[in-house]
Amino acid sequence: MRYVYADNAATTPVSKKVVDAMLPYMTENFGNPSSLYSIGQKANQGVKKARQQVAAALGANENEIFFTSGGSEADNWAIRGVAALGAKKGKKHIITSKIEHHAVLHTCAALEKQGFSVTYLDVYENGIVRPEDVRNAITDETCLVTIMYANNEIGTIQPIAEIGAICKEKGVLFHTDAVQAVGHVKIDVKAENIDMLSLSGHKFHAVKGVGALYCRKGIRFPNLIEGGAQESGRRAGTENVPGIVGLGVAITDMMENMEENEKKVSALRDRLFEGASKISHSRINGDRVKRLPGNFSMCFEGVEGESLLLMLDMNGISASSGSACTSGSLDPSHVLLAIGLKHEVAHGSLRLSLGEDWTQEDVDWILEVLPGIVDRLRDMSPLWEHIMEEEKAHA
């Protein structure tokens, strides 16, 4: 049986190139980057090079890149840091969207308990924030706007440059959680007026446990970890040297192949949409055009997402769903609800996130098994029976 890994938005396999680059930093170049002897300096050079690589990929300067343990840490640091700055000036208002990752939403919720007010912007049916809504939400008390670059569930790409321009004009700091976007779409932090950006290595073939926060020079916010001079003293702790080296190689590789990947992957994704849309009572979630090349998100009425993804797994396909059962809560995904889906429709959601190594055969295999699985689940679904009965009554 064919195996198709269709959850690249959750994590990606580490590339051979990355592994090869990392290995020497675990063995011969294992030194502590803070040590002055040569083996330490070799490690130091490895980190320095990676910092340059990450900076180059974002259009930033190397002294604006701070390595972290991943995207969630970068999000927490940026938001809490700016909030602390804002609080000093009596500015305790944050603007974000309803479809952010929980690393952002839960951090905002924690700040609300500390007396901050947070505006959660609508994203409308297409899953995209409207820049004018950001403008209208900004007040004299606003210290931060944090809007994700691209959504992890429905793949929608937000109008970051427009929002950045508004924030610059209004003198409000702008952070973007770009965990899903970095390495997949072109980002230029200067041109897009991004003050802070979070990224995570394992979303583009580096290892888990390494990420970075880009923070524009001149923004002075609190250190995350005290205890050493690493990351300009802002995040102490001996660096994850192999992970950081791998991150640099991975991001460079993605940049070099971006155009080609984007073209190839989005074409496969479109083939998948076209095929899966033939299933009746289905819908595509999120804007059809302004979305990540590798993101496929659809809902199939009358079926439940967890059953759907487990049956796909039995057919060698690793997928994801935003149903309540898979979100670990009673409600389906906040993202699907934010684009206006009813609970019962959102429960039937399926996310497939493609990889650069996919072929047409992978897409065709999914299209071969998916309709049958949906049919099988609908055949035993009282909800589907109700949907059909209602249609008959209205026919």
Partner 1 sequence: MKYSQKVMEHFANPHNVGKLDDANGIGEIGNAKCGDIMKMYLKIENDIIVDVKFNTYGCASAIATSSIATDMIKGQPLSEALKLTNKAVVEALDGLPAVKIHCSVLAEQAIKAAIADYYKRQGIDPEPIVGKIEDNDHE
Catalytic site positions = 325
Q: How far is the CB of 188 from partner 1 (least distance, A)?
A: 40
Nearer to partner 1, 44 or 323 (CB): 323
CB of 148 or CB of 335, closer to partner 1 = 335
Per the listing, tokens 């479809």 go with 99
The stretch among 25-33, 150-158, 196-204, 323-331 that binds partner 1 (CB under 8 A) is 323-331
- Closest CB to partner 1 among residues 40, 340: 340
Which residues 14-53 are close enough to bind partner 1 by CB under 8 A? none
CB of 310 to partner 1, least distance (A): 5
Surface-to-core class of residue 359, CB atoms within 10 Å of its CB (0-12 exposed, 13-18 middle, 19+ buried): exposed
Contact region for partner 1 (CB under 8 A) — 129-137, 185-193, 254-262, 322-330?
A: 322-330
Residue nearer to partner 1 on the CB measure, 320 or 323: 323
Residue 115: Cβ-neighbour burial (10 angstroms; 0-12, 13-18, 19+): exposed
Q: Is position 87 an interface residue for partner 1 (rule: CB under 8 A)?
A: no
Q: Which of 375, 73, 359 is nearest to 209 (CA)?
A: 73
- Which DSSP helix (H) or strand (E) runs through 173? strand 173-177
Return the residue of 229, 328, 393, 394 that touches partner 1, per CB under 8 A: 328
**Residue 371 CB, nearest approach to partner 1 (Å):** 18
Min separation Cβ 94 and partner 1, Å: 31
Determine the 3-state secondary structure of 156 from DSSP: strand
Check binding of 385 to partner 1 (CB under 8 A). Answer: yes
**What number of CA atoms fall less than 13 Å from residue 187's CA on the CB side?**
36
8 Å CB contact between 104 and 148: yes
Q: Taking the complex as a whole, how short is the minimal distance between the CB of residue 140 and partner 1, in angstroms?
A: 41
The helix or strand, by DSSP H or E, that contains position 178, with its residue range, turns out to be none
Q: Distance between CA atoms of 280 and 319, rounded to whole angstroms?
A: 20
Whole-angstrom distance, CA of residue 216 vs CA of residue 55: 11
Cβ 321 to partner 1, closest distance in Å?
A: 10
At 170, list the tokens: 């209004």
Q: Shortest gap between Cβ of 327 and partner 1 (angstroms)?
A: 10
| 386's tokens | 């109700």
Per rule CB under 8 A, is residue 302 in the interface with partner 1?
yes
Q: How far apart (Å, rounded) are the C-alpha atoms in residues 20 and 25?
A: 10
Candidate list 162, 188, 344, 364; residue touching partner 1; CB under 8 A: 344
| 121 C-beta neighbours (distance < 10 Å), count | 21
Residue 209: how many CB atoms within 10 A of its CB?
A: 14
Query: From the list 257, 343, 359, 390, which residue makes contact with partner 1 (rule: CB under 8 A)?
Result: 343
- Asked if 280 is part of the footprint of partner 1 (rule: CB under 8 A), the reply reads no
Q: Which residues contact 81 (CB under 8 A, 6 or more apart)?
A: 221, 222, 224
DSSP letter for 385, please.
H
Q: Which two tokens stand for residue 391?
A: 């249609």
Write b or e for each residue in 325-349: b if 16 or more Cβ atoms lie within 10 A of its Cβ, otherwise e.
Answer: bbbeeeebbbbbbbbebeeebbbbb
Task: Annotate 194-215 with three-state secondary structure.
Answer: CCEEEEEHHHHCCCCCCEEEEE
Site for partner 1 in 215-244 (CB under 8 A): none
SS (H, E, C) 186-198: CCCCCCCCCCEEE
| Min dist. Cβ of residue 106 to partner 1 (A) | 19
Residue 324 binds to partner 1 (criterion: CB under 8 A): yes
Of the candidates 88, 217, 382, 392, which one interacts with partner 1 according to CB under 8 A? 382
Neighbouring C-alpha atoms within 13 Å toward the C-beta of 268 = 25
Q: Which is nearer to partner 1, 22 or 370 (CB)?
A: 370
Member of 85, 284, 325, 367 binding partner 1 (CB under 8 A)? 325
Applying CB under 8 A, the span of 23-31, 237-245, 324-332, 357-365 interacting with partner 1 comes to 324-332
Binding residue (CB under 8 A) for partner 1 from 151, 152, 307, 320: 307
Binding stretches for partner 1 (CB under 8 A): 302-304, 306-307, 310, 314, 323-325, 328, 330, 332, 342-344, 347, 377, 380-386
